[in-house]
Structure 1
Amino acid sequence: MIGSEFQVSRIMSVVALNGQGQIVHSLPYPNSLRTIRITANQTNGLFTLMEGTIQVGEGMQLHIHNREDETFCVQEGQIQFRLNNDTFFASKGDCIFAAKRSLMAFRNKNTTGTRVLFFFTPGGIEEYFYKASPYFAQQPPNTNVTDKFAEDYGMELFGMPIWDDAESATKTLVKHID
């Protein structure tokens, strides 16, 4: 019986215009800025959308998200990824889905103007960035505090990987369709 057995939830539509959103410092690098475009509160917890330019030399250490999947969509430039046991480059138009509990890292080796969209499902990870941002902005960044926040939000951190550039250069992005 519809109505008595189901509770219908309506999520309001969201329009995030270019330039709108909250800017956060996302990593312990100068100018490592991301914009939280759509929040979990706006999507009833379904997802969080973040975007940003990844500066040359900037990257995220090996880590695992235990609470959310993460999807990367490269809008401009090229990013080097480590996803579980694979290392590869992703370029403009490529999307990478990293299921929760995947071991991953990324860096911008040498491409100016690399832009990426980050989708986190379910949403809520923006709360980590809101808390960590002031500590990443400090010079030097206070990573002892941000590492604790990461743990509080279900992330495990393992340090920067040793990047095998020769292996990455010979691999193409594999698309799996099951």
Structure 2
Amino acid sequence: MSRVQWIPRVFEWRSKMTVAQLAPVITRKSLENTYRYGGGVISILLSAEQTGGQFSVWESVQKPGSEPPLHIHYTSDETFFVMEGTMRFMVGEAIIEAPAGSVVFAPRGIPHTFKIKSEFVRAITVCTPGGFEVWFRTLGTPAAGFDLPDQVEPFNPADLPRMIELGRKLGTETIRPVEF
């Protein structure tokens, strides 16, 4: 089969694929989709509901001390786009320095976390499939503004049962805090 004959068959195959009919969505950061969580500000830019469950996207602005403990997403992948600041990721055994402009992929089933290594960080996270943004909507509080709080909110042990139950529903397990 020549290359010329093969290409039309690829396009023919693609044209027969069925895809969910989704409407185009245009969003931007607003107070209606922004939450305070753990000393950071999370703006949900696209939710699973808006993408047919295919993915979700959020912007996070955080400072040191607001990072998550080591955790695993069993059913979703996370891709982090570091827009401002510097982060250090632990993904499995790998330690990754990620200055602004870096993209870090954390596959499902691999323990991961990050540390903020600058005064603050702004990152865009894509979660595939979507749905994890429910974590921020459920455990966060609606933001009154986009500025970072003066202090990182201390962990409240009373929140732990809710976090564990929500993690089960979302296919996520918290392992432990780690230093790296």
Q: 1:62 maps to what in 2?
A: 70
TM superposition outliers: structure 1 runs of 4+ over 6 Å: none
Which of residues 11, 28, 35 is equivalent to 1:17? 28
1:101 and 2:113 aligned:
no
Q: In structure 2, what is the Cα distance between the partners aligned to 1:90 and 1:21?
A: 30
> What is the number of equivalent residue pairs in this alignment?
154
Q: In structure 2, what is the Cα distance between the partners aligned to 1:138 and 1:90?
A: 25
Q: 2:147 maps to what in 1?
A: none
How far is 1:61 from its partner?
Answer: 0.7
Q: In structure 1, what is the Cα distance between the partners aligned to 2:154 and 2:78?
A: 28
Q: In structure 2, what is the Cα distance between the partners aligned to 1:10 and 1:115?
A: 32
1:75 and 2:83 aligned:
yes
Residues 44-85 of structure 1: per-residue CA shift (max 9 Å, x gap): 111100111121222111111011100000000001110100
Q: Larger C-alpha radius of gyration, 1 or 2?
A: 2
The 5 Å alignment of 1:29-178 reads 29=38, 31-109=39-117, 111-134=118-141, 141=156, 142-163=159-180
Q: In structure 2, what is the Cα distance between the partners aligned to 1:12 and 1:18?
A: 19
Instruction: Tell me the amino acid that sits aligned with residue 94 of structure 1.
Output: S
Q: In structure 2, what is the Cα distance between the partners aligned to 1:144 and 1:96?
A: 30
Instruction: Tell me the amino acid that sits aligned with residue 13 of structure 1.
Output: P
- Please, which runs of 5 or more residues in structure 2 have no aligned partner? 1-15, 142-151
Aligned residues with identical type, % of pairs: 24
How far is 1:138 from its partner?
Answer: 8.2
Instruction: State whether residues 21 and 37 of structure 1, in contact with CA within 8 Å, keep that contact through their aligned partners in structure 2.
Output: no
Instruction: State whether residues 84 and 103 of structure 1, in contact with CA within 8 Å, keep that contact through their aligned partners in structure 2.
Output: yes
TM-score, normalization by structure 2: 0.76
Q: In structure 2, what is the Cα distance between the partners aligned to 1:83 and 1:102?
A: 7
Instruction: State whether residues 42 and 136 of structure 2, in contact with CA within 8 Å, keep that contact through their aligned partners in structure 1.
Output: no
Instruction: State whether residues 61 and 161 of structure 1, in contact with CA within 8 Å, keep that contact through their aligned partners in structure 2.
Output: yes
Instruction: Tell me the amino acid that sits aligned with residue 22 of structure 1.
Output: N
Instruction: Tell me the amino acid that sits aligned with residue 49 of structure 2.
Output: N
Distance 1:92 1:147, change over 3 A: same
Q: In structure 1, what is the Cα distance between the partners aligned to 2:173 and 2:22?
A: 31
